Structure 1
Amino acid sequence: MKKIHLSFPVLLLILFISCKKETTKLSGENKLFSFSITDQVSAPVIDETLRKITVTVTPVANLSALNCSFAVSDGALVTFNSIKPAANTAIVDFSKPATLHILAANGNTSVWTIIVNIVWEDYGLGRLVTASKSIEKTFKWYYDQAGTGLFSSINCGPTVATMAVKWSDSTFTKTPQDARNTYRSTGGWWYTDDIVNYLNKYGINSSYTALPDNYQTIKKYIDKNYIVILCLDNYYLRYNANATQRVDKYYKVNAAASGHFIIVKGYRQVDNQFYFEVYDPWSYGATYAASNQLKGEDRYYRSDDLETATNIWWDYAIIVAPKGKTVEKLNQLSPKAQLLSIVPAQHGG
C-alpha cells in the first residue's frame, strides 16, 4: 500500500477545519423570541437588558398553575423553576417570581426572571381580593365635568346627577350642561336637594340615608344594586402622584372646605384595605396612558378616607334606584336614619 506523507502545515490545516466543523455543530443561541400567559390582560413587558418578564393577569387567574407558551432559539432547552416542560408550553407556579433558563446547545445559558401580577397590583390596590362587587353597565354612563359649559369648574353636581339618571335609564340623552340649565342656570354651587329634584324630574327614585358607618352602610346598598351619591370634602381624600395607578385622588386639592360630589358604584376588599369604586367627575381630560380611559372612571378611594370626608362635610348619602324601582330602606341603620325628614342640604363645588 502506498503511504501518503502529509506535511506539518497541511496537518494543522486539517485539524483546524475539523475543529471548526465541530464548533459549528453546537449552537450558542439561547434567545427568547416570545412569551405569553393564559389570562394575561396585555402583552408581557420583556426587558432584554435585565432579562426580566413582567405579566399582568386577570383577577380570576390561578397564579399557582398558569399555562404559558414561549418560543426560543432552535435547539435550545428550556426549564421553568428547574423543571423541563414537554413542549413549547408549560403549566407553571407563578405565585412567586419564576425562573426561566434557556440552555443553548453549546452550554450557554440565559436566565430570565418572570413576575406575574394580578391587575389589582398594577392599580395599586394590592394582591389578594377577598370581597368585591362592581355595578357594571353595557353602555357608557360616565361624564367628565370639563367642557360642560360656563360653570364647568363647579359642575360636579350637574355632572353626577346626569350620570345617575343615565345609569338608571339607558335611554336618557341629556347632558350635564342640560342639568345646569335646569337648576341654577346663572351659576352657583349645586346642592344635594338639587340632585334629588333632578332625579325626580326624570322619574328616578332616590332616598337619603344617614352614614353611621360608611363602610357597612354604603356596601349594603351596593350589594342591593343601588348606586350611592356622596357629597364630601375631597381635601381629605389622599393624593397619589403615581400616574399609572387607580388608587386615591389623582388631582391635588390645596385647601379644606372643598365640597365635591362623586358616585360610588362598587367596592374591593384587597389585602387589609377596603376600597370603594367610584366615578369622580373631575377628570378634566386626564387619562391613563395604557388604556386612554379617563382617570375619574373606576377610581378606588379608601373607605376610611370617604368616612372622614363625609363626616366633615355631609354625613349622609343619596341612594339611587334603577328606573321603575324604589329604594329599599335598610332598617339596620342607626336611629339617626329616622331623622331623614330634616336632612340638611349641602353643596358641592
Structure 2
Amino acid sequence: FLNSVLYDITGIIWFKEFGTSLKIILPLAISFYTFQILAFTIDIYRGKYTEDISLLNYMVFIMFFPQLIAGPIMRANEFLPQLQGKTEIDFKSDYIYKGMLLVALGIVKKVLIADNIAGVIDPVWQNPSQYSSFELFIAIHGFTWQIYGDFGGYTDVARGAAYLLGYEIPENFKAPFLSASPREMWQRWHITLSTWLRDYLYIPLGGSRVGEFRNQFNLVLTFVLGGLWHGAAWTYVIWGFFHGFFLVLQRIMEKLGFKQIFPSFPGKIVSIFFTYHLFFLGAIPFRSKNMSDFFLVSEKVFLWNSNIKSSILTETVIGLCFLALLIQIFEYKEYFPRVLWKIRPVFTPLIFLLLLILIGLYSGTGKEFVYFQF
C-alpha cells in the first residue's frame, strides 16, 4: 500500500513494481488475535491486569477456537477469570440453552440471509458497469445486510459454541441498523473493534482531554486507521474517513445544542432511517474492488439514470433484508431471551427442527465468511 501511495505521488514506476515478486502468505485471522495480544500486553504495561497466569491459560485465551478466526476480540480481564481453577467443562443448563439458541440464530443469519443475498449481488459487484443505478442501489442495500448476517452470524455461532463449552465471550452486534445516530451505530456495530480502537488508539492520542480541533482530528484518524485494519487500500481509507467525519459532525451538532433533532417516536424512526443510510453509503467504498469501481458505483447511484423495476435481484434482497430487520427488532428489545426462556421446555426441540428445515430448504450456495480476509 505504501508503494502504491508513493507511486501515485511521484509517478516513479519502481515504487509500483517493488516487492511484487514476493509471495507472502499471511496467517489466517492474524489481525484479530494480534489485537487481542496487543491489548493484553498494553493492559499489563498500564497495570490494568496484574494477575499471574499459566502458559496454558494464556494459550487458551489467545487461541480460543470459537472466536479465533473472526472475533469477537476478547479482553483478558473478561475471559481469563473464567479459566481460573477450571479443569473440566462446566455444563450449565442455561449456558447450553443460550449456546444452542445462538448457534441456530447465527446459522440462520449466515446461511439463510447472508449467503442467499451474496448469491444475487456478487455478480453486480464483480461488473458494476453492466448494471443500472437501481440494481446497484439494491446491491448496496444487499451488501449492507449481507455483512450483518455474515459477520453477526459468525459472532453468534462463536458465542454459542463458547456457551456450550461453559464460557462467555463478549457480544459484538446489538441491532446496529436500529441506531438513531452515528455514535449509537458504533456502539452497536462490531463493538469489540470499536472499543479496542477507543481504548488503545483514540484515548492514547488524547481522547477528549485535548482541544476541540485535536479531538476531532483524533476521532477521524482513529477511524482511518480502523479502515486500514480492514485492508491496505484507498477504499478502506475513504470508508474510515467517511465514518469518522460523521461522528465529528454529530459531535459539532451536539456542541451547538442539537442533541436530539427528532425527539418524538416518529422522529426517532426518521433518525434511524438517516443513520442506516449513512452506513449504507459507507458500504460503497467498503465493497468496491478498487477506486475505479468506487467512483463508478457512486456516480451511477447519485446521478440515477434508470427506472425502478422488479427482478430476482430486487425481490431476493428486499425479502431477506426484511427477515434480517425482524431479527434486529427482536434483538433490539432483547426479546429472544425474555420470551424463549419461558417456552423452552416444550418448544425448544420444535424451534430447532424448524430452523433446520428452513436451512435445508432455503440455504444458498455456501460462501466463505467475509471477515476471514481480515
Asked which structure has the greater CA Rg, the reply is 1
Higher normalized helix content (fraction of residues): 2
Higher normalized strand content (fraction of residues): 1
TM-based fold match above 0.5: no
Q: TM-score, normalised by structure 1?
A: 0.23
Q: TM-score, normalised by structure 2?
A: 0.22
